[in-house]
A and B are shown apart, each in its own frame.
With several copies, the nearest count.
Chain A
Amino acid sequence: MKLVTGVIQPHRLDDVKSALEAAGVRGMTVSEASGYGRQRGHTEVYRGAEYTVDLIPKVRIEVLVASEDAASVTEVIVAAAQTGKIGDGKVWTVPVDDVARVRTGEHGVDAL
């Protein structure tokens, strides 16, 4: 099995979620993150002091998949999250030794 992780623009989350559902993915875990990269940060001003904030809000999506689905799930996320602007994010895949479903104690692909 594989863990596909995507770090994307927050306003693309709904579309990515829909695309994954459409592609048959039945579960995922989402969390908030901040990204640093090529994308220029914004400037905040407080009483005349200017701050450059170079951490930009992102959303992290994690999807556990059968090994053979990793590539296609990656493509689905890339396609749905893409706006073409700098800062769109990354998707990466990590090998997984084992998955268990807490409710039942099942292991392996059945646990997905």
Chain B
Amino acid sequence: MAELDSGLTAWMLVSASLVLLMTPGLALFYGGMVRGKAVLNMMMMSFGAMGVVGIVYVLWGWSMSYGNESVGGLFANPFEQFGLGGGGVFDESGEAIISDGLPLIVDVGFQATFAIITVALISGALAERVKFSTWLVFAVLWVTFAFFPMAHMVWGGGLLSGDGPFAGIAEPVDFAGGTVVHINAGVAALVLVLIIGKRKGFGREPMRPHNLPFVMLGAALLWFGWFGFNAGSAYGADGVAGLAWVNTSTAASAAIIGWLITEKIRDGHATSLGAASGIVAGLVAVTPAAGSLSPVGAILLGLVAGALCALAVGLKFKFGYDDSLDVVGVHLVGGLVGTIMIGFLATDGGLFYGGGFNLTVVQIIIAAVAILISGVVTLIIGLALKATMGWRVSDDAEVGGIDLAVHGEAAYESLGGARKTTEVKA
């Protein structure tokens, strides 16, 4: 329908705004978790992603994801609607094209925010030790070769969508980005830390969060923004959006409790870092599933995701990879939990609702393919950058603090004694 639905449009404008806010929320969530000497760099990885990905999305991101010229179901032609031209978003008279009641230009904004946050998620694995320039280049390459194709495959009618080859088994479900966003980012994080290596002192020195209220506030902003992420993905201001909203919030609530119980039993303490992490784990898990569960199913999913992720974040110590802020433990594991549990919990087609195994099987296939593609693409980009620009800052910069070394700043005021030296060059 080419007629504008102003209620839907209002909701999508809000949803886009909410999802945009998630990235600074993430910056705070991550920033609070690193040591005080690296908080600015940590936040700058998110803010840098907001810069480059925001530009790239308008230039070729939309065209590669949702353009009309699919290349083998893997990605769409980046040049077709380059710079939002080509008549895909605006008609000849420059008017915004309306599709299903929504001006497509609003959808562009909404989708751009997903690209930004997905890239930013990865940075959690790279805390305290990575060159800012390499990161920015990585962001451009990865969003181009890993994210836009995955969005095309899952949501743009490509390989992993309802129009793809696996849909014969059952229609695969990724409501708001379990594969595209979380599995994708989680795999990328794992591959990168293996390439880049650990922080100096990892596993020996304590690396405690320098500001836990920031972590909690960041988690809260993520929760808030996630309403746009999930309920916005209903592309309607209607009952489906309402269901997604309630499932999202309920899963987050349940995952807090799932995580805290797990910690309390294991460590004897229910921590604030656990509550904040539980929130994110629940939100991740419910992302692909928000439209397919009953609210009681969302409670179950949240409890399981909270508990499993609480266990999974310890793996890095076991296996010795420095996934510094647990992108793997929370986003990969949480994304898998959500993607696969849809097979059981979906009210329409899930095993527990008499739907048989088909949905579970297709969900596992989808997840596996996504892991494979994301892994290979990230590996190539990661190794290429290692060979060329290099990933790591110098040891001195890392030990002395990356904020000072790379950004020339200290996050917090400290004892006086600075002298203004250079005349400002204006």
Contacts and interface: CB of A to CB of B under 8 A. Distances in A.
Interface of A: 10-11, 13-14, 17, 30-32, 34, 36, 42-55, 57, 59
23 contacts: A13-B415, A17-B417, A44-B404, A44-B410, A45-B267, A45-B269, A45-B271, A45-B408, A46-B208, A47-B274, A48-B263, A48-B425, A48-B426, A49-B317, A50-B408, A50-B420, A50-B421, A50-B422, A51-B206, A51-B420, A54-B417, A55-B414, A55-B417
Contacts of B415: 13, 30-32, 34, 55, 59
B416 A48 contact: no
Instruction: Report whether over half of chain B's contact residues are helix, strand or loop; otherwise say mixed.
Output: loop
Contacts of A36: 417
A36 B178 CA distance: 48
A57 B401 CA distance: 11
A31 B414 CA distance: 10
Given A44-B408, A50-B422, 18 more contacts: A14-B417, A30-B417, A44-B208, A44-B418, A45-B409, A48-B263, A48-B310, A48-B425, A50-B267, A50-B420, A50-B421, A51-B419, A51-B420, A52-B419, A52-B420, A53-B410, A54-B417, A55-B417
A50 B424 CA distance: 7
Interface in B257-302: 263, 266-269, 271, 273-274, 277
Contacts of B409: 44-46
B314 interface: yes
Among B206, B263, B267, B416: residue with most chain A CB under 10 A: B416
B128 interface: no
Contacts of B410: 44, 53
Contacts of B266: 48
Nearest to A42: B404
B189 interface: no
Contacts of A47: 271, 273-274, 277, 310, 313-314, 326
Contact of A51 (B326, B399, B418): B418
Contacts of B421: 43, 50-52
A44 B206 CA distance: 10
Nearest to B209: A46
Contacts of B313: 47-48
Scoring A11, A17, A30, A48 by chain B CB atoms within 10 A of each residue's CB, the highest score goes to A48
Nearest to B205: A14
Given A10-B416, A53-B417, A48 B404 contact: no
B277 A53 contact: no
A53 B314 contact: no
B401 to A, nearest CB: 9
Nearest to B269: A45
B425 A34 contact: no
A11 B425 CA distance: 27
Contacts of B209: 46
Contacts of B311: 48
Contacts of A32: 415
Nearest to A43: B408
A51 to B, nearest CB: 4
Contacts of B208: 44, 46, 51
Interface in B374-426: 399-400, 404-405, 408-410, 414-422, 424-426
Given A44-B410, A45-B267, A46-B409, A55 B404 contact: no
* The 10 nearest A-B residue pairs measured at CB: A55-B417, A45-B408, A50-B422, A51-B418, A48-B314, A53-B418, A52-B421, A51-B206, A47-B313, A45-B267
